[in-house]
């Protein structure tokens, strides 16, 4: 299976720069062996999806509501995202878990909504620095996997240690490998054989200079990239480090 290189633009990008970034990524995508996904802010999805329709670069969103439609002022449904041309949606990102008090149960409801609309959920899990310092990271992440994923989950997991996001710090290769193996075990426990085929991305300060090492770790099925995904050159350099994994 090809590794998945996914960009999370977060709350960045006005019209002109988003168009230019999407075009530059698309221009470099043809030569790549990996799967590519970019997740602009809601306001840029329509124009980015229109530009990338029929190309090798898929478009996703960064969140969705649990309901298909209704009285939810300011919210966006999975159906609306699919209608715009989204193929995927990031759910349970730590910035939403922290800033919007999203619980595992809410994330699970959003996953069901996303799958119901035909979107591939990219579900984020990860521990805080205090949890890792207390030696609790394995339990915390296993519990998030168990409680966030519905039965028969189909999608992608992203392991993102919160202390590595936007900080320039990353876990050691051994720590990434240990956590990804744990997540694989939790997935197989929860989903049976299907859990063996789910891609587990690593996210948190992935850059061109550390991508090859992180993407070579067993059980790493790709990367979720924040800051470096705002530069086409950096994003494509990371994508060039991706490979096919069994």
Q: What is the set of active-site residues?
A: 93, 160
> Could you say which of 224, 234, 236, 238 contacts ligand PGA (CB under 6 A)?
224
Element containing residue 8 per DSSP (H, E) = strand 4-8
Give the separation between CA 220 and CA 19, rounded to whole angstroms: 30
Cβ-proximal residues to 132 (8 Å cutoff; 6+ apart), any chain: 161, 163
Nearest alpha-carbon partner for 92 in 126, 44, 42:
126
- Minimum distance from CB of 80 to ligand PGA (Å)? 22
Q: How far is CA 127 from CA 74, 132, 179, in A?
A: 29, 7, 11
* One-character DSSP codes across 63-119: ---SSSSSS-TT---HHHHHHHT--EEEES-HHHHHHS---HHHHHHHHHHHHHTTP
Q: How far is the CB of 7 from ligand PGA (least distance, A)?
A: 9
Q: Which of 12/185 has CB closer to ligand PGA?
A: 12
CB 8 to ligand PGA: min, Å: 4
The site map against ligand PGA for 153-182 (x = CB under 6 A) is: -------x----xx----------------
Of 155, 161, 221, 227, the residue at the interface with ligand PGA (CB under 6 A) is 227
Q: Does 116 bind ligand PGA (CB under 6 A)?
A: no
Q: How many angstroms separate the Cα of 28 from the Cα of each of 36, 129, 151, 152, 184?
A: 11, 36, 38, 35, 32
Sites for ligand PGA among residues 193-212 (CB under 6 A): 203-206
> Least separation, in Å, of the C-beta of 71 and ligand PGA?
31
# binding residues, ligand PGA (CB under 6 A): 13
Contact status: 225 vs ligand PGA (CB under 6 A): yes
| C-alpha to C-alpha distance for 186 and 192, rounded to whole angstroms | 10
117 or 214: CB nearest ligand PGA: 214
Site membership for ligand PGA, residue 226 (CB under 6 A): yes
Residue least distant from ligand PGA (Cβ): 226
> Which residue, chain included where needed, has tokens 């789910």?
198
Q: How far is the CB of 166 from ligand PGA (least distance, A)?
A: 4
Residues that bind ligand PGA (CB under 6 A): 8, 160, 165-166, 203-206, 224-228
């Amino acid at each position: 299976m090809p590794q998945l290189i996914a960009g999370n633009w977060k709350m960045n990008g006005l019209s002109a720069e988003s168009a230019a970034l999407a075009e530059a990524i698309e221009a470099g995508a043809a030569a790549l062996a990996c799967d590519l996904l970019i997740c602009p802010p809601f306001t840029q999805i329509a124009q980015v999806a229109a530009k990338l329709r029929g190309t090798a670069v898929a478009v996703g969103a960064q969140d969705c509501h649990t309901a298909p439609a209704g009285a939810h002022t300011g919210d966006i449904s999975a159906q609306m995202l699919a209608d715009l041309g989204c193929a995927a949606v990031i759910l349970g990102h730590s910035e939403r878990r922290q800033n919007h008090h999203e619980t595992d149960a809410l994330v699970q409801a959003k996953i069901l909504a996303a799958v119901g609309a035909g979107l591939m959920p990219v579900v984020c899990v990860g521990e805080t620095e205090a949890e890792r310092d207390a030696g609790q990271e394995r339990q915390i992440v296993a519990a998030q996997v168990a409680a966030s994923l519905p039965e028969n989950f189909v999608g992608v997991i992203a392991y993102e240690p919160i202390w590595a996001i936007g900080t320039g710090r990353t876990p050691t290769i051994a720590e990434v490998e240990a956590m990804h193996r744990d997540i694989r075990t939790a997935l197989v426990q929860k989903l049976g054989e299907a859990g063996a085929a789910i891609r587990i991305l690593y996210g948190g300060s992935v850059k061109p200079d550390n991508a090859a090492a992180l993407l070579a770790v067993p059980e790493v099925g790709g990367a979720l990239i924040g800051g470096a995904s705002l530069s086409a050159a950096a994003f494509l350099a990371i994508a060039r480090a991706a490979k096919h994994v069994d």
